[in-house]
Structure 1
Amino acid sequence: MKPIILLLLAVNIVLATPVSENDTEPQPAFDAYRDLRFLLSTRTNRGNPFRIMFRNLDSIRASPFVASRPLRVLIHGWFEDETSEISVGTSEELLNAGDFNVIFVDWSEGSRTLNYAAAANRVEIVGGFVASQLNFMRENGFVDFARTHVIGFSLGAHCAGFTGKGTGGQIHTIIGLDPAGPLFSERRPDGRIDASDGRYVECLHTNGGLIGAGIGAHICDADFFPNGGTDQRGCLTNTCSHLRAVAYYIESIQNNGFHSQRCTTETQASRENCNSGGGQWFGHADNGNNNLRGIFHFATNRNSPYSQGPWRN
């Protein structure tokens, strides 16, 4: 995501209400059936993802997908593609940490548009197609939802939520990394990522507030607000703070030091004044198993490594 993107977003939101594709420059219509790509990475094909075709058994059987492995699904945000950190960096760290099937959902044909509203209007479609693929793989014995996590960044977080809605809330864990705020309402859980979308839904908020890129609200089972949840230490722009959500998640995979304090309210979290007990780690695999609930805060360093500990493997 380039630094100019949030400026373009601001212009788009200020100058326009949600627009349709007919109001924009002529461009090929996004066709999820044609344009959505499911790119599989495992320890046997690192750096060379295998494209699994939509609801195609022969394609799955020809791939390095192994049904006995846990599944991690990654979904990118606005103006991103398969070169983004939610794809490259996250996949690499997941495969270093465990023997996973990692599927990256590339919807760049729908996200790489200057019309943010058009991209935002596609998240439900993308989530629905991902859900259909996962339901198909489950029905054919390839996927166990109890061992499946779906992780999305920005608009991709809402795609992850709609994936959960489309799979009946049965996905074990859904993680939203700074879910996008513009055009998504706290009061409309049916139109965004929500706590009801999976067995456990966790959100990380790094750029909320009135002019932030994220929704910045307690909308999931557990919501983490690092450094107050609006501006991240070491960042001078919204783009930097927004992208920190992915950097924190990547760092949490291998050596989790994002130890948090429980907060009573969002206001308490925004003021970094939480003293209601701690002991929780953002992004830890046990959070879902332990049915973690609540609002949490942790502080970070200005530069990588960001976590301040204590550490938990």
Structure 2
Amino acid sequence: MKTVLCLLCVAVCYAIAGASSLVDGKYSRYIEFPDGDGVMQAVDLLEPVDTELLREVERNPANNNYLLYTRRNRRSSQRLIINNVNSIRNSNFNANHQTVVIAHGWLGNQNTNINPTIRDAYLNKGEANVIVLDWRRLAVSTYPTAAAGVPAVGRGLGQFLEFLHSVTGQPFNRMHLAGFSLGAHLVGNAGRQLGGRVARVTGLDPAGPLWNRNSERLRPTDGVYVEAIHTDGGTTGLGIGTAIANADFFPNGGNSQPGCYNSICNHNRAYELFASTVTRNHLVGRQCSNTAQISANSCRGSSFHMGNDDLNKTGSGLFRVNTGRRYPF
């Protein structure tokens, strides 16, 4: 009996030690996280951050590139420059059309798949000002440095949108900010910079590592309506996996997606699903009372469309939506 108790005590001690060594209460120190092309990269979550780069990002929001696409220039972008009035006035920006800002994730850039996928969904449907935020200056650094700099980049985006508003007169309720992975927390900070006045903020599988206990993560107050789509929120998933918005959607349970066999596919599915809903507005969730219902696929509450481009959309709660294996899902 004493031997059994001793062995049990040892097991408990090891379990406690293992839990205490987790980063952010969930992840091992060494993980793999996908780059902008979906290739897994080794990440040390406790690697020291590049403080010099972070200071530069904080000082100079002009490090971000704002690339405008409209139906008049679907493939060739026009660069909009903060505090440069002519860059706005000489562009195809039209204040009568809604503005959509897209923010990529870690190691991404203007050519990363999320950008043309969402851009084309909007421009194939109708008139819009699609602004691709290329924040590669910071995004190409180590994951801990990029994560630490996300709030500053987000504030820079907010400052740019304030400038855009001052030049064009477009109201903030005509703006929709959508960000993927680290970009989800970035657009949250941009909305916060604007006092939560933008019509919509959409987090596409908001990044999990270093964000579970991070006060700078996406919040429900970052926009008039804030939505999160969780597609890879498992125990060691790339996404945060917990409710952080007004409305949180968990496609197929939020941990693994039909037709996917790894975390990269699950993670990327968030922006693919969103783009498809912009075109079709066809994915409908059912409200859930708790996470157990989400996992058991037993949600029986009211229906609510996931994603889409409706600037007047409002709602709150947890929702499960079941999808197909391949586009348009």
Q: TM-score, normalised by structure 1?
A: 0.88
Q: What amino acid maps onto 1:273 in structure 2?
A: S
Q: Is the 8 A contact 1:32 1:126 kept in 2?
A: no
Q: Is the 8 A contact 1:230 1:241 kept in 2?
A: yes
* Cα deviation, residue 8, structure 1: 1.7
1:35-77 Cα offsets, whole Å, 9 max, x none, are 3100000110110000011221111111111122111111111
Q: Does 1:126 align with 2:118?
A: no
Pick one of 221, 229, 242 that aligns with 1:204. Answer: 229
Q: Does 1:109 align with 2:134?
A: no
How many Å separate the matches in 1 of 2:199 and 2:183? 18
Q: What amino acid maps onto 1:104 in structure 2?
A: V
Q: Is the 8 A contact 1:32 1:125 kept in 2?
A: no
How many Å separate the matches in 2 of 1:4 and 1:291? 36
Unaligned runs of 5+ in 1: 307-313
* Cα deviation, residue 109, structure 1: 1.9
Greater strand fraction, Structure 1 or Structure 2? 2
Rg comparison, structure with higher value: 2
Q: What amino acid maps onto 1:235 in structure 2?
A: C
How many Å separate the matches in 2 of 1:249 and 1:265? 23
Q: CA RMSD in A?
A: 2.1
Match of 2:244 in 1: 219
Q: What amino acid maps onto 1:146 in structure 2?
A: N
How many Å separate the matches in 2 of 1:108 and 1:215? 22
* Cα deviation, residue 273, structure 1: 2.1
Q: Does 1:138 align with 2:165?
A: yes
* Cα deviation, residue 3, structure 1: 4.4
- Equivalences for residues 1-313 of structure 1 within 5 A: 1-5=36-40, 7-9=41-43, 12-13=44-45, 17=46, 19-21=48-50, 32-113=60-141, 115-185=142-212, 188=214, 190-278=215-303, 280-286=304-310, 289-306=312-329
* Cα deviation, residue 275, structure 1: 1.5
* Cα deviation, residue 290, structure 1: 4.8
* Cα deviation, residue 34, structure 1: 4.6
How many Å separate the matches in 2 of 1:142 and 1:178? 32
Number of residue-to-residue matches in the alignment? 293
1:185-217 Cα offsets, whole Å, 9 max, x none, are 2x54x4111101110000000000221010111
How many Å separate the matches in 2 of 1:240 and 1:176? 17
Q: TM-score, normalised by structure 2?
A: 0.84
Q: Is the 8 A contact 2:61 2:157 kept in 1?
A: no
